Chains A and B, each alone.
Chain A
Amino acid sequence: GENVEQHPSTLSVQEGDSAVIKCTYSDSASNYFPWYKQELGKRPQLIIDIRSNVGEKKDQRIAVTLNKTAKHFSLHITETQPEDSAVYFCAASIGTYKYIFGTGTRLKVLA
């Protein structure tokens, strides 16, 4: 069935280091991949997205890469800061209207 796997479930990095979160999707027809950041007690918020016709997209310290052949996509955060600490979710579109979310990665940036 439709599935998005996300790894790791928790990630601790030193401030200034890079963090990488990886996701794998199952539906080869998925064509849109958003990433969400959820701070404690708050709503998930869209931080970056990528479409299937693009291999990489960057927005300041955040970048996403997509490998359609392998059905992998990843979130890269460089020069991490304490305020990057949150739970990050990947998602993949299913059909026109639906999104399946990964299980989340709890990122801790240690000062």
Chain B
Amino acid sequence: DAGVIQSPRHEVTEMGQEVTLRCKLISGHNSLFWYRQTMMRGLELLIYFNNNVPIDDSGMPEDRFSAKMPNASFSTLKIQPSEPRDSAVYFCASSPRTGGGKAGAFFGQGTRLTVV
């Protein structure tokens, strides 16, 4: 298993453009998290899904942000229109249920987004 896979690894875009970040979960995991990491705010949970259903999107900063999970293994995070303050590293993580076994979230390598 290759772990959580994110693409692209780096994205540079102009303000106002649409950005789509992609994530493939670890096979067998049923929870999916999107995090944003900046120096100022640390690791922020944006949204998480369980069994493809969005459970909590209270961390999504604005309506410009949206996330989907069209199937059990794939998710996208879209920013439209993007702004310079969206510049950050965006991590996707997946997890089995916390009820048993090793259940921490396993992170992808992240997408470094720069909006100019």
Contact = CB atoms under 8 A, between A and B. Distances in A.
B104 A97 contact: no
A42 B109 contact: yes
Interface stretch (B43-51, B66-74, B79-87): B43-51
Given A32-B98, A93-B98, A99-B45, A43 B108 contact: yes
Contacts of B105: 34, 46, 91, 99
B interface, size bucket: 20 to 34
Question: Chain A binding site: helix, strand, loop or mixed by DSSP?
Answer: strand
Contact of A49 (B42, B50, B102, B107): B102
Contact of A100 (B31, B45, B91, B107): B45
Given A32-B103, A46-B104, A96-B98, A104 B109 contact: no
B55 A97 contact: yes
Interface in B47-64: 48, 50, 55-56
A32 B95 CA distance: 13
A56 to B, nearest CB: 17
A6 to B, nearest CB: 9
A96 B42 contact: no
Interface of B: 31, 33, 42-43, 45, 48, 50, 55-56, 91, 95, 97-99, 102-110
